[in-house]
Structure 1
Amino acid sequence: MENLELLLQGFSVALSPFNWLMMAVGLVLGILIGVLPGLGGPNGVAILLPLTFTMPPTSAIIMLSCIYWGSLFAGAITSILFNIPGETSAVATTFDGYPLAQKGRAGEALTASFTGSFIGAFVGVLLITFLAPLVSRFALKFGPPEFFAVFLLTFCSFVGADTKAPSKTIISMMLGFGLSAIGMDTVSGQLRLTFGLSELLRGVDFLVVVIGLFGLGEILVTMEEGLAFEGKTAKINAKVVWQTWKQLPRYWLTLIRSSVIGCWMGITPGGATAASFMGYGIAKRFAKNPDDFGKGQLEGVVAPETAAHAAGTAALLPMLSLGIPGSATAAVLLGGLMIWGLQPGPLLFVEQKDFVWGLIASMYLGNIVGLFVVLSTVPLFAAILRIPFSIIAPVIIVVCTIGAVSVHGAMMDVWFMALFGVIGYILKKLDYPLAPLVLAVVLGDKMESAFRQSMIGPKGGLAIFWSNPLVGTITTVALVLLFWPVIGFVRRQFARAEARTANA
């Protein structure tokens, strides 16, 4: 009951004229970012974050979160009409979305996609509304060992979830930890990794890192690929929307499954991309005619979009309640909160109730408004893709440069942005994940502080991470996830040896 009262109070904050305007601006910018090649949710939020420094924190985070919702909605537009995923989480949407567009059913596919996204996000916001306060109250009992164990669990989860190349995840993470260590050590006062450069005394700002990695790095990759846009047109009217909505109840089980999958993958560091593929795969496995998937099935559009939006929304739960982001975008938002002087975590729900509940209320409003905005503006935003990329790319680069300069007003940050743009390009070409790197840059110093505080306590020593059932359980689970790829490799070797023995 208390949560509902606080939520109503949050609606009064979110519905103020200025916050309402920021919500609308964020949604439009998010849709624009979602349909433009070389951008996307994390990229757009990172590039536009400096523009919010002069705003009140509540208005700024509402605008940035709506940019994220808008980009997730819009990722389906290019996937369905042009077979070009606007977001990595929209890749699975192309499997059935584009075949539907080729059959002249682009309007149905887009309506189903937007509606599934809305439902997934709505479930994710409900989860945040009722679980985040409980998690934050529980986390108030945490000390440095517990926080270090949770940080460790977060990073180990990335390693355990990567079944293809966990070594790349670890390398990316170590690079992020190295960047977070640059500057002055807050405990000893000694300089670390500054190489005699006074500009590095304050460290490398995370915002410069993410603008380079996501914004400039993605532009370089896109320039190399030389995208050409040849897609289908779509017309969405009330008749198409109503006919599509009448079909969706038959996929109610798929909507529930995908929402649950998305929420789970959002809270854990699985991310929206993994959630969308998992949602699509499970929908196909339980479908009556799985062979029809990939040929233009409406269910094949609903499942990944619902899961992706649920994951993208649920990723904010650990960020708000524990100060641990569940996705790259949440990591960027976490850094923004810290710039505004807010410390995400359990105390946020105690000290900044208006901010937290205003943000949660804006999630409800942003998704409702976003659904109707995308349904009514698809032809307009799809037409933007007719603009030559040779015009779009320089504009994005200029925006990235302005964003980098505005952080500290230093030209050195522009050079750092260019450097990280090249690094981002190389990592993308070599298929290294960027999310663990960004997460390590944002959380590296906090993890180090929690570890050092644990070591100088009265029970200093590694045994402190097993000093009580809570911290011992979290640490043990983290280590199991860290070595899970090794365990899986050993199991596969045993299975192969048994198979060879049986064949012999």
Structure 2
Amino acid sequence: MAGFSEALVPVNFMMLVIGCLAGLFIGAMPGLGSVNGVAILLPVTFLVPPNAAIIFLAAIYYGAMYGGAISSITLGIPGASTAVATVFDGRPMAMQGKADQALMTAAIASFIGGTISVVLFTLFAPPLARVALSFGPPENFALMILAFATFIGLGGDDIPKTIFSIVIGLVLATIGLDIVSGNPRLIFFDISGFYHGVNFLVLAIGIYGIGEMLWTLEETKGKVQVERVNVTWRIIVSNLKRVRSYFGTSIFGSFLGFFVGILPAAGATPGSLMAYGMAKSFSSEPETFGKGNIKGIAAPESANNAASTGSMLPMITLGIPGSPTTAILLGGMIIWGLRPGPLLFTEHPDFVWGLVASLYLANLFTLIFNLTLIPLFAKVLTLPFTILAPVIFTLCIVGGYAPTQTLHDVWLMLLFGVVGYLLRKLDYPVAPAVLAIVLGPLAEQSLRQSLLGSRGDAMVFVERPISACFLALAVVLFVYPLAAGWRRKRRRMMAGQPIPDESQG
């Protein structure tokens, strides 16, 4: 209650509301995201007291998690890496004239994820931080393998194409400087731009922005017109009644996202991707994912919001940032004279509980802003594609340039756009490649740290109980879609039904 009284101090409350609105639009802008938004606006916080400053930055973080879904759904361009999985089903729903339903699902699932994670944060902060600290490189590597196992669900029944896509993503993830020796790897034609590696957002925006636009132009000869979306109170109430259909998925995504978020250096992106993969793997209708399944929006959106709160937990309790954004928040706290760690709870309780209370309020206000602005976001889809295509192209160029501010990445993004278009024509899944380039560096770092620590003994992964459990679960997740596909084929054969040609999609 003392925390709420601190968060409702006029200057703190004003900064919270401004931060939520700013974060919403920062998250919606391709290429920006919470990391850049918090970094850009960090100097503003030196004009206000420390409590108001951290509340403002945390509100931006929360707003950006919500906002990333907006451009993913309306334009098919992920606003941030955390919203890539939302594109898979959000964009198809928008193209079917269900943008209002998709946007409302994203907002409500985000609210569920945020609320559950803040409650967990409030109740279990110190013990959960100790659990996260017990995770070493072997456990982190096993967790990444578990995430890769969910890719089989993302790739449908065509396992070879899915594995090929994952391998391509892993190869792209190794471009740059070796993490141990520092030697250059896969620097194609000695182009200096490859030394900083392939930025994940450059790949994602190229494939889902440029590639999707080229595909749409070819399929419709440039005459596409998305069905107009009329948002009325009756439609809003009707969409609220659908919450039951994805409530369980949102709960699952919330717990998974929070757990992944508290792991140091994991962040919200792996959590959202794992939630999507597992939601599809355990769905009774996995073939509907990627074609506008509402659970394909609820799972990643609840997970990325829960993970954003989870990543603050090791920062506050241990002084270890759980994501790139919380690393910037940590720097800000040190500048303001606050030392993160267990003593922060006793030395500055007004600061800690004011921050926790502000997360409850930020979650509520961002939901209200999001639902209120849905008609505005939906109007984007009423534009003719002849106007929308140049806008999408311009946003892609800005999004490709923003992360590293080099033209090399812009050319690379255009190349990935053409590759994404060709892969789609050849019916290859691009999602596993995009996800592999995110988790590849994390998996490689954990693998090499584990083997260096064990002097090359691979048994370290099965000798430790937590990593052994993760690897066993990964095997189950890998085998489950294969067994389910075999069972479906057998049922069709026994019923005398023709087996569909999966090579035709």
Q: TM-score, normalised by structure 1?
A: 0.65
Q: Which amino acid aligns with 2:197?
A: G
1:215 aligns with 2:209: yes
1:27 aligns with 2:13: no
Q: Structure 1 unaligned segments of length 5 or more: list them.
A: 34-43, 79-85, 99-108, 283-300, 324-332, 343-347
Q: Structure 2 unaligned segments of length 5 or more: list them.
A: 44-53, 76-85, 258-270, 287-291, 313-321, 332-339, 497-505
Could you say which residue in structure 2 is the equivalent of 1:151?
144
Cα distance, 1:74 vs structure 2? 8.9
Distance (whole Å) between structure 2 residues aligned to residue 406 and residue 73 of structure 1: 18
Secondary structure of the equivalent of 1:462?
coil
Distance (whole Å) between structure 2 residues aligned to residue 182 and residue 27 of structure 1: 33
1:126 aligns with 2:115: yes
Cα distance, 1:144 vs structure 2? 1.5
Could you say which residue in structure 2 is the equivalent of 1:83?
none
Alignment counterpart, residue 425 of structure 1, candidates 421, 426, 429: 421
Answer whether contact 1:125 1:360 (CA < 8 A) is retained.
no
Distance (whole Å) between structure 1 residues aligned to residue 356 and residue 208 of structure 2: 26
Could you say which residue in structure 1 is the equivalent of 2:228?
231
Distance (whole Å) between structure 1 residues aligned to residue 454 and residue 256 of structure 2: 37
Of 137-146 and 387-396, more deviation after overlay is shown by: 387-396
Percent identity (aligned): 30
Could you say which residue in structure 1 is the equivalent of 2:394?
398
Distance 1:470 1:306, change over 3 A: closer
Cα distance, 1:364 vs structure 2? 4.6
Cα distance, 1:179 vs structure 2? 1.1
Q: Which amino acid aligns with 1:397?
A: F
Secondary structure of the equivalent of 2:157?
coil
Distance 1:144 1:276, change over 3 A: closer
Cα distance, 1:334 vs structure 2? 5.7
Of 50-59 and 475-484, more deviation after overlay is shown by: 50-59
Cα distance, 1:416 vs structure 2? 0.8
Q: Which amino acid aligns with 1:89?
A: D
Cα distance, 1:60 vs structure 2? 6.8
Of 254-263 and 193-202, more deviation after overlay is shown by: 254-263
Task: Summarize deviations over 1:6-40 as a string: whole Å, max 9, x none.
Answer: 8987888995645532421443576xx6xxxxxxx
CA root-mean-square deviation:
5.1
After TM superposition, list the pairs within 5 Å mapping 1:81-480 onto structure 2.
Answer: 88-90=88-90, 119-131=108-120, 133=125, 135-160=128-153, 162-195=155-188, 196-224=190-218, 225=220, 226=222, 227-231=224-228, 233-236=230-233, 240=234, 244=237, 256-257=247-248, 259-260=250-251, 263=254, 269=273, 271=275, 308-309=297-298, 311-317=300-306, 321=310, 364-365=360-361, 368-373=364-369, 376-377=372-373, 379-458=375-454, 460-480=456-476
Distance (whole Å) between structure 2 residues aligned to residue 13 and residue 351 of structure 1: 28
Answer whether contact 2:273 2:300 (CA < 8 A) is retained.
no
Q: Which amino acid aligns with 2:364?
A: I
Distance (whole Å) between structure 1 residues aligned to residue 280 and residue 468 of structure 2: 33
Distance 1:280 1:468, change over 3 A: closer
Alignment counterpart, residue 42 of structure 2, candidates 56, 61, 70: 56
Secondary structure of the equivalent of 1:204?
coil
Distance 1:12 1:421, change over 3 A: farther
Task: Summarize deviations over 1:61-110 as a string: whole Å, max 9, x none.
Answer: 754653552465798899xxxxxxx9543479689987xxxxxxxxxx96
Q: Which amino acid aligns with 1:208?
A: V
Task: Summarize deviations over 1:187-210 as a string: whole Å, max 9, x none.
Answer: 123221113223222222223223
Answer whether contact 1:70 1:370 (CA < 8 A) is retained.
no
Answer whether contact 1:144 1:453 (CA < 8 A) is retained.
yes
Distance 1:278 1:60, change over 3 A: farther
Distance (whole Å) between structure 2 residues aligned to residue 168 and residue 358 of structure 1: 50
Secondary structure of the equivalent of 1:54?
helix
Secondary structure of the equivalent of 1:308?
helix
Could you say which residue in structure 2 is the equivalent of 1:296?
none
Cα distance, 1:413 vs structure 2? 1.7
Could you say which residue in structure 2 is the equivalent of 1:482?
478
Distance (whole Å) between structure 2 residues aligned to residue 212 and residue 155 of structure 1: 22
Of 202-211 and 115-124, more deviation after overlay is shown by: 115-124
Alignment counterpart, residue 66 of structure 2, candidates 57, 65, 69: 69
Distance (whole Å) between structure 2 residues aligned to residue 65 and residue 307 of structure 1: 21
Distance (whole Å) between structure 2 residues aligned to residue 232 and residue 448 of structure 1: 45
Distance 1:55 1:371, change over 3 A: closer
Secondary structure of the equivalent of 1:456?
helix
Distance 1:373 1:421, change over 3 A: same
Secondary structure of the equivalent of 2:141?
helix
